[in-house]
Amino acid sequence: MSLNGSTNATRALDILLILGEVGAEGMSLSQLVARVGGAKSGVHRSLMSLTERGFAEPADKYGHYRLGPAIAMLAKRQERIEPLVQQLRPGMTEFARLTGFTVYCMIQSGVDCVCAEIISRSTRRQFSLGIGGRVPMGIAAGSLALLSMLDKQTSEKIINDNAERYRQFPAIRYVDSSIIKEQVADAIKRGYAVNAGYYLPGEGGLGLPIPKQSAYGLNVAVSFNVPVEMMTEHWMQSIMQDLRHCLFRT
């Protein structure tokens, strides 16, 4: 799973990310080894270190581990994210009410994009794993919108670092780093990002970039799922205006 080898720190971080995917039921050591790679003894040492510090803990099922309470305590101390989510939530809720679309608030986390909030009134299949779900930066409209706010050098480095992950990511249309770069360039030109049905049958998405307001702020993107057949140029421009109105009306 690691992008830069299997150092102890990277291995521990990979374990945390994997445990974050599986929920309260947790995952066994052998399953973690299969996902992380490397020697079983090394994965076990990292897992025990995380457990000693409260970042992981034994699950109810014997031999399984899940995220520990230290993760939640650290998350509560993140003072930049929650105020932004609180600011955007009413507009996201109104937009979801008006359209019936599922709406996401997405943030960058290194080379990944993470869902910080989700508002849904839809019964259609959801792309995101839910709050805390993550995808490689460049996958789907929300992360394309985030990439469009970065300088070219930073954006291209993230895309190049994720190149192999794009080829491995489940998709119904071919995706590689060159396609992602084209999509980012298109998002910069439009002022919003477009996923034209790359990952779910008949389902696309649009993402609105919201640049940080200060040097210590945080770029965010608000995105939503939409049936591909609705995504005409005129309709996309109109619906993005509606989204801006919901988010930023005074």
> Looking at the chain, which residues constitute the CATH 3.30.450.40 domain(s)?
78-248
- How many whole angstroms separate alpha carbon 243 and alpha carbon 221? 12
Determine the CATH number of domain 8-75: 1.10.10.10
What Cα–Cα distance (Å) separates residue 73 from each residue in 43, 77, 195?
Answer: 24, 7, 35
Q: DSSP per residue over 37-90, as a string?
A: -S-HHHHHHHHHHHHHTTSEEE-SSTTEEEE-HHHHHHHHT-TTHHHHHHHHHH
Report the Cα 9 to chain-centroid distance in Å.
Answer: 22
Determine the CATH number of domain 78-248: 3.30.450.40
> Looking at the chain, which residues constitute the CATH 1.10.10.10 domain(s)?
8-75
> How large a percentage of the chain has pLDDT more than 70?
90
> What is the tens place of the pLDDT at every residue in 15-64?
888 888 787 888 999 999 998 888 888 899 999 888 887 888 888 888 99
Per-residue DSSP letter, 227? E
**Residue 125 reports pLDDT greater than 60:** no
> What is the tens place of the pLDDT at every residue in 93-121?
999 999 999 999 999 888 889 888 999 87
CB 210 within 8 A of CB 87: no
